[in-house]
Structures are given as structure tokens and as C-alpha cells.
Copies of this chain bind each other. A is one copy, B any other.
Amino acid sequence: MNAFRFQNPTALYYGKGLIEEHLASETLKFGRKVLLVYGGGSIKRSGLYGKVLGLLVAAGVETFELSGVEPNPRLTTVRRGIEICRREGVELILAVGGGSVLDCAKAIAMGTVYRGDVWDLYERPGEARATGALPLGTVLTLAATGSEMNSGGVITNWETKEKLGGGSPYTYPKFSFCDPENTFTVPRDQTVAGICDIMAHCFEQYFTPTPDVPLQLHLMEAVMKTVVEHGRAAVDHPDDYAAREAIMYAGTMALNGMIGMGVTGDWANHTMEHELSAEYDIPHGGGLAILFPHWMDYVKDVDPHRFASLGAQVFGVDPAGKDVGRLAAEAIARVREFFASIGAPQRLRDYDIGPADLPRLAGQAVRFGDIGQFRKLGASDVLAILRSAL
């Protein structure tokens, strides 16, 4: 494995009733002026907004609000949040929602403290560094991004059509509350996209060039196996507590750093998908579900044994009498089948994306250099993958 330093300071709360019991006391550790960040109003319909606000008000907290955070959260929204924080002297940001809301809140937390323009931190991460962040707490409503227990996030600049990731050691949430019941009302297609995102986070780490990481690979297999075993139930029975909990917890573990210590991730699919989302505003998880099987076909010869392991360990493919090439192909077929079984999109045309823009998008994806680590991809590779996904 690579030499590494790991530290994840987030206090993670899982289960029913913990928000009622601990949200106010966790909040008061950081101050009495709180910016509530949330999305399009689903938390008002579900009653979560009322519950959270009631607890904060009862604890004597003064709240400010930033609502309407978009599914691919926009830089303009981040800027509005920063302005509120600076003007009102906000002491804690409380993000209530899914990964987009949390990512937006992280950008606001860094951007409020940073003296330059917040977009620098995403566009020029080599030169511009976060110098601190407002404390951040989260109440999660969607199993997907793992943003509740990591320091990263993704922001879209709609003017330049760029979707870029960023983060800092300061943007780990101080606390995160994950109650599976808060995911019961998530619409079916968002549940599906979330599940695809969780699988994608595992794939990005599983297809690593780093040698000698046996435990890490087995930990990733454990997360993927859990998603495959319980994903369908979470989609078909939205109020199946155990299934929702298994998926929510898988989402946290897939990207809180614990399964990937000392592992160089690939992340080419995320880079390609960000171009699609920045151009067409499609759901991140849906884009990943489309791209990954095609990427797998394109790169599988780099290490077919890794794919064979995926098939055997995650999907229970019986290896008896099959050569490694066939096992790799079978594993990729099982990935496709799983995504199809939960109703994930399978082709770019499912989002009305045609061939015209693809050469430009491929060029855009590699504008900072070749992408991927398992196999390095240039513009022509990306274009081939995008075309096969049409």
C-alpha cells in the first residue's frame, strides 16, 4: 500500500431518535448563530425542517437560511451563502439534505474564511488553499455521496459549464446525523442514483494500480456486496428500514476514507461524468451508472484478475472451469445487470444526449491532463468510452 496519514474527526450519529436527543447540544458546542442550508423544500414536506428548526429554536439558536440548493449545486448559490455568513456572523453551518446540499455547505464554510474568490479553491487547488472553514454540521437525507463523513465536495460553475471537486482538512463535518427514516421520502429515481453513486465510489477505489492492498480490496467488496444485497429492496420498498439503513451506512463507509487508506483511486469516471453533468445537468449517479460498464469494457485487459475478483466476491460468480477473461466479462455483465435491476439509466440517450457534443466534452475532460490511474486515458480514449455509451 502507499504510505499514508489518515484522520477523520467527524462525530457520526446513526439511528432513530438521535437528532432529537443530540442535535441541539452538538450545535451549541459551536455557537448560537446557525445558517441552515437546504434544497428545494422536500424537507419541509417531510417534516424534517420543522423538527430541526424546532429543536434549534428551543435551544436558543438564532437561525438564518439558504434554501433552493440545486441538485448539482451552483457557484452562485455558494456565493449567496458566503454573503449571509459574513454579514450575519454565522458560527455554524447546518446542512440538511443530500450530498449536493452538504457539498454546497462545505464550499460556503471554506469560502467564508478564504480571502480570495471561493472558485479559486476548486479551479486552482494547487495554488489556492483553504485557510480554514466555518464549523459544519449535517443532517443527511439521501444515501449517496458520503459527504457526511468526508472533507470533499463538488460545485458547478454554470457560467463556464465546469463541475469541479474541492475540499480541505477543515471541511470534515464536526457532526453528522444519519437517520434512515429521513430517506423514506426520497423519490425513486434519486434513491437509484444514490445507489449508483455508492457503487461508483467503490469502483473508483477498487480499480487501483496500488499493489498489496488486500484488506482494502476486501473492505470495498464488503461495501459493494451490501449494496447489491439490499439496493433493490431500498428502491422497491422505500420504507424498509433495514434496507434503507444498510444503503445509507454503505454510502457513508464507501467514501469516508476507511476502505481506501493507502490506495490510489482511479476517478476517471467521476471526471467524465462531471463533464456530462456540467453540460446537461443530469444526475451524477445516473451518469456514473451509464459510464462505468463501458469504461470497464475499455480497460479490463489492464488487470482482468481484478475484475474476476469483483465477480467472485461481490456477485458470487462461480469461477469453476472459466478462464480469467471470461470471468472478467461475466463480472462486467453482472454490474450491468445490477444497475438494470434497480432501474438505473443505461445509455446516454436515456438523458437525450447525442453524439454531437462528445468530442468537445472529451477534450474538456482531459484539459488538466490524462485522467485515471488504473489506466491513463487521453481525449481519444474518453471519446471512445462516451461513444460506446451513447
Contacts and interface: CB of A to CB of B under 8 A. Distances in A.
Interface string A237-261: 0000010011001100100001001
A366 interface: no
A333 interface: no
Contact of A212 (B2, B18, B219, B245): B245
A321 interface: no
A5 B9 contact: no
B3 A14 contact: yes
A242 B13 CA distance: 35
A249 B229 CA distance: 27
Interface string A6-21: 1111111111111000
Contacts of A7: 9-12
Contacts of A4: 12-15
Contacts of A10: 7
Contact of A246 (B16, B214, B219, B242): B214
Interface in A151-176: none
A181 to B, nearest CB: 12
Nearest to A316: B312
A53 interface: no
Interface string A219-235: 10111011001100000
A92 B242 CA distance: 44
A342 to B, nearest CB: 17
Contact of A8 (B2, B8, B15, B22): B8
Contacts of A13: 3-5
A94 B92 CA distance: 35
Contact of A11 (B5, B15, B223, B258): B5
A336 interface: no
Contact of A262 (B6, B8, B14, B261): B14
A215 B15 contact: no
A59 interface: no
A84 to B, nearest CB: 29
B249 A215 contact: yes
Contacts of A218: 221-223, 225-226
A21 to B, nearest CB: 9
Contacts of A17: 3
A340 interface: no
A1 interface: yes
A120 B262 CA distance: 40
A261 B14 contact: yes
Nearest to A219: B222
A25 to B, nearest CB: 11
A258 to B, nearest CB: 5
